[in-house]
Structure 1
Amino acid sequence: MARADFDPGAISSRDFYRLLTAVVVPRPIAWVSSTSEEGVDNLAPHSFYTVASVDPPIVQFTSVGEKDSLRNIEVRGEFVVNLTPASLFEEVNATGTDFAPEVSEFDAVGLTREPSVKVRPPRVQESPVALECRLHRMLPMGDSTLVFGEVVHAAVSSEILEGAHPRIDLLEPLSRLGRNEWGTLGPIREIKRIRAKDWPGHFDRAGEQQD
């Protein structure tokens, strides 16, 4: 296999960012709602997003640079992560517009505020899932800040639940790819994780192969 080599010290950080975001894919999107000190409700998509801890339940997103979400969370200590369904593709993209801090993306884009249960920032009523979070900590990292939030309440639309489990085909989550590319769910495949004891010619705890 022929490969092209990229040295992050030999090209601009912006060019290497474009490379990273094209190969670290697909990336789930944290659609973060927050409220400023002046009471303005902000809503912005952040595509560096994951689960950071199970117990306690902590999610993490990265703010590249200092954006309204970061400033608001620093002040309020609270935010909501709303799921981004494919049906709201254009609205999610529109909330990434660099509006002035005094402009609420809820109003500019035409989305509906829904009161949260345990935090001040509102949820997106049109989104099927909302994770209400209290700030756990912020971690500066180069030109970015990692924001960790403990999930204190989760609200899930009953329409996408099968028992207590959300159905992925009904969630239809959006993801970010490279450039201006976005991803949707596509085909779903299922496979069970193989336990070591079930592996053909499995190894015991000492690393010895068993018959």
Structure 2
Amino acid sequence: MKHFSTKAIGELESRQRARFINSLSGFKSANLVGTIDNKGVTNLSIVSSVFHIGASPALLGMIIRPTAVQVKEQAQTATHPQSVPRDTLANIEQTGVYTLNHVCVDIYQQAHQTSARYDAEVSEFDAVGLTESYLDGVAAPFVLESQLKFSLSVREITPLKINNTILIIGEVTHVLVDDKAVKADGYIDIEALNTTAVSGLDSYHVTERLSRQSYAKVGKNTKMLTVSGD
């Protein structure tokens, strides 16, 4: 087994180090963040940093890299990565609303292309060939081709001092999902929706369920459940 010390990791070329460290957390969700600015220009950006915070209220967190302005205002050191303008963050700050759209097998290549540095005046929807979709009362665009998508209202935006990244916490307001994927106990069978996972920065995966497991209790072995929770 190969051993990487702090020193060895630090000596890796910057892109190699980024791929290496991004691989450590394993499989992550692949989501497209849909936003719109005050001029009506839409933006679409792939992220793999979405995570659950709580169910009541329904909160999800997301990490965004620092904006160019934030980096410029602070002394840059080796721990402060270079950055580019973040249209996603700017739009969320302007409107207070955004959507998250699961990346399914049919669109993963187009989803990955949204990570390119398009000008702010260019909509990634148009650039990569995905379709804007709207719901009454939600300003931000959904991705029509996504099989599981939901809108969120901003609850907190917090800069993280350790590396200038931005934590965005949103409350889920609307969920759009094929009813066949929602089980009686509330479980959403995302595998049935062909949702992909991502590892590292650029590797996409389909999943294969081993099983659902029963509620764990001390002194009692868990048992395998069906997808429906039986």
TM value normalised by structure 2: 0.77
Q: Give the Cα separation in 2 of the matches to 1:119 and 1:83.
A: 18
Q: Can you give the 5+ residue segments of structure 1 that lack an aligned partner in the other structure?
A: 200-211
Aligned to 1:58: 59
1:161 deviates by: 4.0
CA contact (8 A) 1:115 1:122 kept: yes
Distance 1:117 1:52 in 2: 26
Once the two structures are aligned, what percentage of the paired residues are identical?
A: 23
Runs of 4+ in 1 over 6 A off after TM superposition: none
2:135 alignment partner, SS class:
coil
Task: Report the equivalent of 1:68.
Answer: 87
Question: TM-score with structure 1 length normalisation?
Answer: 0.83
- 1:117·1:153 contact (CA, 8 Å) conserved in 2? no
Question: Which of 192, 195, 203 does residue 173 from structure 1 map onto?
Answer: 195
Partner of 1:147, secondary structure, is: strand
Letter of the 1:75 counterpart: Q
Q: Structure 2 vs 1, CA of residues 152 and 8 (structure 1 numbering), >3 Å: closer, same or farther?
A: farther
How far is the alpha carbon of 1:179 from its aligned partner?
4.6
Q: Number of matched residues? A: 199
Cα separation, 2, equivalents of 1:179 and 1:57: 28
After TM superposition, the structure 1 = structure 2 runs for residues 23-34 of structure 1, keeping only pairs within 5 Å, are: 23-34=24-35
Per-residue CA deviations over 1:133-162 (Å, capped at 9, x if unaligned) read: 011111112231111111111111235445
Answer whether contact 2:191 2:208 (CA < 8 A) is retained: no
Cα distance change of structure 1 residues 131 and 3 upon mapping to structure 2, 3 Å threshold = same
Shift of 1:97: 1.7
Instruction: Quote how far apart the aligned CAs of 1:193 are.
Output: 4.3
CA contact (8 A) 2:44 2:123 kept: yes
SS of 1:123's partner is: strand
Gapped regions of structure 2 (runs ≥ 5) = 68-85, 222-230
State the distance in 1 between where 2:45 and 2:157 align. 18
Q: Which amino acid aligns with 1:68?
A: D
Task: Report which of the two structures shows the higher radius of gyration computed on alpha carbons.
Answer: 1
Q: Over aligned residues, Cα RMSD in angstroms?
A: 2.3
Q: Distance in 2 between matches of 1:2 and 1:162?
A: 43
Matched, 1:184 2:203: no
Aligned to 1:3: 3
Comparing 84-93 and 182-191, the one that deviates more: 182-191
